[in-house]
Structure 1
Amino acid sequence: MNIKALGAEFIGTFMLTASVLGAAFYSFGAPSGAAGIVGVALSIGITVMVLARSIGHISGGHYNPAVTLGLVAGGRFPAGDALPYIVAQCLGAIAATGVFALIGHAPPTFAANGYGTLSMLNASLTSVFIIEALLTAFFLIVIMGATRPNATAGFAPLAIGFTLTAIHLMSIPISNTSVNPARSLGPAIFAGGEALTQVWVFFAAPILGAVVGALIYKWLDE
């Protein structure tokens, strides 16, 4: 395993998580006016876009355990390398959350994902599971299509970043948007309580969706 690839996955997932938490913690209460859901969605979309362009070539730019496992299912990534990638991603997300805990002014929930009282719309477990699985499947279809060998060079980061922005616009009110188990794990650990008991949903639904999405794309592109 290439240690530089693991370092890139740690840094990328750190910055991805930071882009969500920083916007979610501070932009809603900014004195000049809240950036709100649109601000959070743009923050993560732009961050992933620039990460893909800057360090994506080092590790493949997964920054998400669901993406890693989806790419394994789609035949784009070796299964034997998946666990080290996932560990690096989870550590990056936990480290990013820890930095914001030190900065302070974070809400008690640490922008954790969840259903019921952790959902802006008080969405049910079923609703949250469906939207997380569905949107992660969509995300993997875009990723695999945008990174196919004969795709137009240089456009994959745009496609992936804009897709992630759209995903957040669609689902922040339902689940606070995960589509990424590492992003969910970091805040859940620091929030504890209900967020930690619900974090399993944000492993199960995105991973299921990613595998299904990858298999759908593989079937479409055969």
Structure 2
Amino acid sequence: MIRKEGEGTYALTRAHQQPPLDADAAQRRWRIFKKHKERLTEVLRDEQYGLCAYSELRPDHVGIGMHIEHIVPKRVEPLRTFDYHNLVLSALSDADLTALRREDHFAGHAKQGRYDQRRFISPLQEDAATAFAYLSDGRIVPRIGLSESDRERARYTIALLNLNCSLLLNQRKRWLDELDGLIDEYRASQLSLQDLAALYLLPRRQRLDPFFTASRQRFGAIAEHLLAMDAPMLV
């Protein structure tokens, strides 16, 4: 879950004081806002600890870019075009799209203008961290124990964001294979799993390692205790 604080940047706050009233105006005003996006990107990147809001990939680790994403699309709610609480950073810049197969577009570029508020699990919602489970083969699935309606929301969100595309599957599997191997080694050697959890879960220089929620689930109660004590802003 991403916790929003403040209103973003001065330029964004000013733009939001007179929001666009229709989809065409939203598109036009957002293009004009281009010169202010670099600073806003820095603020969002720090807020998200360097992770893509939807996939938890660390784009800088895999040589791809990011873009500012409207959770509720501009055409759906033009009034929220400059609402800081509707903006996150999502993996893939426009330039990355030409290097990827269409079926490997994910996160905001897969979602595009599609959106059903009743079914979509926003990364700003309280249940965002508990709706999904991360399997050893790299897949993300609805977490066991959800109600049928919440399972449907999780399935819809996974499909809409294409979170099981081959790029993400490979990255997640590689990450979890390494982590699971280390956990087994630490247990066999009677080393401190708390120390290992701290390496994987605590931020360094305002950055987290990729797939934070997947790693957090792997450490279970150890992770929850560690975060509550040393990084309560991530709980």
TM-score, normalising length: structure 2 = 0.28
Q: Which has the higher helix share?
A: 1
TM-score, normalising length: structure 1 = 0.30
Determine which structure has greater relative contact order: mean sequence separation of CA pairs < 8 Å that are 6+ residues apart, divided by chain length: 1
Q: Which has the higher strand share?
A: 2
